[in-house]
Structure 1
């Protein structure tokens, strides 16, 4: 049983060393020659535009920086992110376009987005477009339609942009 005092002394030394190490600031513990790591750049959404192209309508979202993941889904109604209030776009069908991580403002809080905030559109399929959010690293748009939309998406590069092509569902006529 003579090893117990020695074991207790070793355990106390380990705990004391761990406690001292926990109080050293991370900046002091890092090697001085290590290069600082840059935070990942957030994609900046700068514009949204639309156009009619014969058998389909197109929405284009312009991005500065690397294109973030984009999701498009049908929703029953459009709501402003953060507020929850209903977006005043007329239509029977709606698509929500969500870019994340992304922002429509710079680090100083100034808007870099130069496109429409809310606009009525008179295209055969697309009837309205709204920027519905720039909130907590997510930029959201809503699109309104009178007929059920069928859509395809893609990203284009140099410059970076997201493209949503929409046509009416079969049987809706155009």
Structure 2
């Protein structure tokens, strides 16, 4: 008899605990899931450039919050995913990586309106290419005939990443 009472007490405790869990307001679970949801992925929508008196400028436009960006001098540019060499003429290259970021929307449609592969005729900047939009990383490559001295920074409202590339000594734009 005592064993049956113990089982009944345990069963009542389990049902009581289940009942308490069921009384959590529906909105509380929604609030918790909103707080845990990752922020929307930044979208890389354009790359544009311009020549100035003493430098060339490359601007990457972003929709959403600016993700972390790295700029690396590389010996050659490769397309992300395939690994194929990017056919941009130049002797020196910069690889610009934005991550987490995408150049496509949730349906897989491209939102990037900039150049895919373009030769440019500025004193320093000689070409720009979208080299990757793969697994949350967008990469853009820039080509130069001379080793680029540059300054990189972020501007806001709208969000954009800027690289100013110094003209070589003695160069007149």
TM range (shorter): 0.7 to 0.9
Residue 50 of structure 2 corresponds to which residue in structure 1? 51
Residue 105 of structure 1 corresponds to which residue in structure 2? 104
Does 1:69 pair with 2:49? no
Tell me which of 162, 170, 173 is aligned to 1:173.
Answer: 170
Distance 1:164 1:118 in 2: 18
Larger deviation, residues 150-159 vs 38-47: 38-47
Shift of 1:40: 1.4
Aligned residues: 150
| SS of match in other structure, 1:95 | strand
Ranges in structure 1 where 5+ consecutive residues have no aligned partner: 1-12, 18-27
| SS of match in other structure, 1:51 | strand
Distance 2:167 2:75 in 1: 17
Q: Are the equivalent residues in 1 in contact too, given 2:56–2:167 (CA < 8 A)?
A: no
Ranges in structure 2 where 5+ consecutive residues have no aligned partner: 1-9, 15-21
Shift of 1:33: 3.1
Distance 2:25 2:135 in 1: 33
Distance 1:114 1:41 in 2: 20
Does 1:120 pair with 2:114? no
Distance 2:25 2:102 in 1: 34
Distance 1:95 1:78 in 2: 8
Q: Are the equivalent residues in 2 in contact too, given 1:45–1:61 (CA < 8 A)?
A: yes
Q: Are the equivalent residues in 2 in contact too, given 1:147–1:168 (CA < 8 A)?
A: no
Distance 1:151 1:41 in 2: 30
Residue 156 of structure 1 corresponds to which residue in structure 2? 155
Extract structure 1 runs of 4+ deviating beyond 2 A: 30-33
Does 1:141 pair with 2:133? no
| SS of match in other structure, 2:26 | coil
| SS of match in other structure, 1:141 | strand
TM-score for both structures, normalised by structure 1: 0.80
Distance 1:80 1:86 in 2: 6
Pair 1:31–1:48, CA change in 2 (3 A): same
**Structure 1 or 2: larger helix share?**
2
